[in-house]
Amino acid sequence: MADNEVMGFDGDAERGSRSPRGVYDEGREPDPLYTLANERTYLSWLRLAVTLLAAAVAIDRLFLEQPWFGSQILALGLVAIAFGTCGLGVRRWWATERALRRRQPLPGFGAPLLAVMAILLAVAGVTVLVLTPQG
Amino acid sequence: MDTRTGKLWGDQYPFERNHLQRTMTLIGLGGVFAVTVILLVHAEFTSVLGISLLCAGVVAAFAAVSRHRYVQETRLGFVILRTRGGRFVLGSALAVAAVSVLVALLVLLE
């Protein structure tokens, strides 16, 4: 059992029977607790995406009586961010699972991504404020 | 490998949290889907809500059956983890993408 494993797990995966092949044809079977934790992280990304979609529906309904260009942009923007969030979650699950199987260091989250998110949120906020009808 | 319950995790199996989170996330996604469909097709609220609740019940039942299976497999030594793949991850991502398209349609068409 490796130093960083909580439970011993002997035996290799049944290759060829698991999808996606890009993940499961790599390396050896990791500690089950790590792959479960990886999936929970993905589920957190998924919940964020679901929450953003719910917010998009709420904004659409909020401005139903007085449709406004900015509200549509905001709702569609939230849908786009939800889409991206889900894609990012899958990408990170994929990369982490591969790294776990190959016994390599896990991929970092990266400050650049947070910075990009901060800039996008700031731009969205300014856009909403500028486009809001006055009076 | 010792997989007896009660040693490392008390009465909780390692995959319990995954099951709960999977179920809750899918029910949440189903809720957004149901609301979007109700608004999009102007369906009768009560009938769609009833069907949605039935579907949520089915998801919960699947979770219960799946949990039972995992417990059995865990007692045999995590056999199921050797065969579990990424189908749930990819399938749920596709489901979110489909609901995203529906929400976008709702915003654009209504």
In a domain, A135, yes or no: no
pLDDT of amino acid B65: 83
Q: Which domain holds residue A125?
A: 31-130
* B98 φ/ψ angles, rounded to the nearest 5 degrees: -65, -45
Specify the pTM.
0.77
- Complex ipTM > 0.90: no
Q: pLDDT digit string (tens) for B91-104?
A: 999 999 999 999 99
φ and ψ at A44, to 5 degrees?
-65, -40
Establish if A1 belongs to a structural domain.
Answer: no
A14 located within any domain = no
In a domain, A109, yes or no: yes
Residue B29 has pLDDT above 60, yes or no: yes
pLDDT at residue A8 greater than cutoff 70: no
Q: How confident is the model at residue B6 (pLDDT cuts 50, 70, 90)?
A: very low
A79 interface with B at CB cutoff 8 Å: yes
Q: Let me know if residue A5 belongs to a domain.
A: no
Per-residue pLDDT at B44 exceeds 60: yes
Q: What total number of domains does chain A contain?
A: 1
C-alpha A80/C-alpha A74 separation (Å) is 10
Positive or negative CA dihedral for B20, B23, B25, B27? negative
Quick check: is A40 in a domain? yes
Which residue out of A34, A57, A61, A81 would a mutagenesis test of the B interface target, given it has the greatest number of B Cβ atoms within 10 Å? Answer: A57
Contact assessment for residue B36 and residue B106, using Cβ atoms and an 8 Å cutoff = yes
The two structure tokens encoding residue B76: 């045999």
- Residue A133 confidence class, pLDDT cut points 50, 70, 90: low
Residue A10 has pLDDT above 60, yes or no: no
> When comparing pLDDT for A6 and A100, which is higher?
A100
The mean pLDDT of A77-86, rounded to a whole number, is 90
Domain regions of chain B by residue span? 16-109
Three-state DSSP state, B60: helix
Distance CA A30, CA A13 (A): 10
Cα distance between residue B24 and residue A128, in whole Å = 32
So what's the pLDDT on residue A3? Answer: 47
Contact B29 A79 (CB under 8 A): no
- A residues 102-131 closer than 8 Å to B (CB): none
Q: What's the whole-number average pLDDT of chain A?
A: 81
Classify residue A70: in a domain, yes or no. Answer: yes
Whether A11 is in a domain gets the answer no
